[in-house]
Every structure is written in C-alpha cells, then in structure tokens.
A and B are shown apart, each in its own frame.
Chain A
Amino acid sequence: KQEVTQIPAALSVPEGENLVLNCSFTDSAIYNLQWFRQDPGKGLTSLLLIQSSQREQTSGRLNASLDKSSGRSTLYIAASQPGDSATYLCAVGPSGSARQLTFGSGTQLTVLP
C-alpha cells in the first residue's frame, strides 16, 4: 500500500526566503505526482503535475522535482510572500489501472511579513 509522508508538518519563514517542502512515497511505481495548495476551509488548488517520466516542472516561483527511484519529490518556493501561507499537499497517482491519488498529510506554511 502506498504511503506518502510530508516533512516538516509545519514551517514558518520570514518573507523573501526561499524554501523547500519535502514529500516521500514508499512505492516507486507511480504514474504522476501532483502538488496542491489548500487554504483554510477551502478546497485544493492544483499547483504542479509531474509525470513519472519527468524530472521537474516549473510555474512562476514554484519548482517541483521528482526522483522516482528514491521515492522523493520537493517543492521549491522562491522569494516567499505572505500570500503563500497555506497548507501544501503532495499526492501520487499510481501506475496500473487505479486512478486515485494518495495524499500526504501536508505541510502548513506560514510566511511572516
């Protein structure tokens, strides 16, 4: 059974810092990996999708990398802003016929002004 772990559970940084969020998964037989953002009391906003054949994806100040063989992904946020404060979730999609995502518990990020 796939297990996804996100470390740290919470992170507080001053505005302007670059930061890295970590995600690890136990089964490397994945189809893709998706990073989401969740604001309090809200649904999930998709940030980046990395297919298993890719090593990284970039969108604006965000860069996500994937090392499938070691079961790791990182989300890099450059020049953090208070508006980046949210919970960040990673989720892996399995290979084979299954389609459901398996999520980590998230990293709660606070960017202090």
Chain B
Amino acid sequence: GAGVSQTPSNKVTEKGKYVELRCDPISGHTALYWYRQSLGQGPEFLIYFQGTGAADDSGLPNDRFFAVRPEGSVSTLKIQRTERGDSAVYLCASSPSSPGDEQFFGPGTRLTVL
C-alpha cells in the first residue's frame, strides 16, 4: 500500500508570495498532522486534523499559516506573504484514528523563500 505522499518535493518562492503544500495521507487514516523541521532540529508540530476538522492548530506560528482538509483525506497547508524565516521542511504524517496510534510520515516538502 502507498505511504504518505507530499507534493511538491521542493518549492522555491520569493518573499511575499503565496504557497500551497499538499499532503495525501495513507488511505483510511483519519488523523493527519503537519510539522515543520528546521535544519538540525526535530520536527515541530503545526496542526492536527481529525477527519475534516482542525482538532488542534496551536502550533501554527501566526495567521499567515492556514490548513484545510475538506473531504477528510488530502490536506493543503497554505502560507500567505511568505517570509525568509518560513524556509524549512514541511512534514505531513497520518495515523489510523485512536489516541496513541503510530504516526507515519511523508517525505516532506522543502520550502525555500528567497
């Protein structure tokens, strides 16, 4: 079976532009997570979806960041007015449903803001 997929694998944009990052979770997984990883650090939590709704968005750094999951499967992370400090690897993970389920990660999208 297919794992978590993310597109694009790399995204280079200019400061001030808008970007969208896509995550396709493992089929049947109801929980979906977004994390951000800076060089030399572990991933940091951004937002968690259970089904279509954002159950916890406490990790989003500011209101330029927004994520949706309209049909409870694919999710899009949207960043407005990008800043150089947004440059990082954005990782998506999914898990079956229950608390404490193992999380499975995608390959990530490397975002570079020039």
B100 within 8 A of A: yes
Contact B42 A31 (CB under 8 A): no
Q: State A103–B37 Cα separation when bound (angstroms).
A: 10
Taken residue by residue from 48 to 74, chain B's Cβ proximity to chain A (1 for < 8 Å, 0 otherwise) reads as 101000011001000000000000000
Q: State A64–B104 Cα separation when bound (angstroms).
A: 18
Contact B40 A100 (CB under 8 A): no
Taken residue by residue from 79 to 91, chain A's Cβ proximity to chain B (1 for < 8 Å, 0 otherwise) reads as 0000000000101
CB distance from B17 to the nearest CB of A (A): 24
Q: State A99–B50 Cα separation when bound (angstroms).
A: 10
Chain B count of residues within 8 A CB distance of the other chain: 28
Task: Give the chain B neighbours of A52 by CB distance below 8 A.
Answer: 100
CB distance from B59 to the nearest CB of A (A): 7
Chain A count of residues within 8 A CB distance of the other chain: 26
CB < 8 Å: which of B6, B43, B48, B105 contacts A46? B105
A76 within 8 A of B: no
Contact B48 A100 (CB under 8 A): yes
Contact A99 B55 (CB under 8 A): yes
Contact A103 B44 (CB under 8 A): yes
Task: Give the chain A neighbours of B6 by CB distance below 8 A.
Answer: 43
Chain B residues in the interface with A (C-beta under 8 A): 4, 6, 31, 33, 35, 40-45, 48, 50, 55-56, 59, 91, 93, 99-100, 102-108, 110
Chain A residues in the interface with B (C-beta under 8 A): 4, 31-32, 34, 36, 41-46, 49, 51-52, 89, 91, 93, 98-106
26 A-B contacts (beta carbon < 8 Å): A4-B42, A42-B107, A42-B108, A43-B107, A44-B43, A46-B103, A46-B104, A51-B100, A89-B42, A91-B42, A91-B43, A93-B100, A99-B48, A99-B50, A99-B56, A100-B35, A100-B45, A100-B48, A100-B56, A100-B59, A101-B33, A101-B35, A103-B42, A103-B44, A104-B42, A105-B42
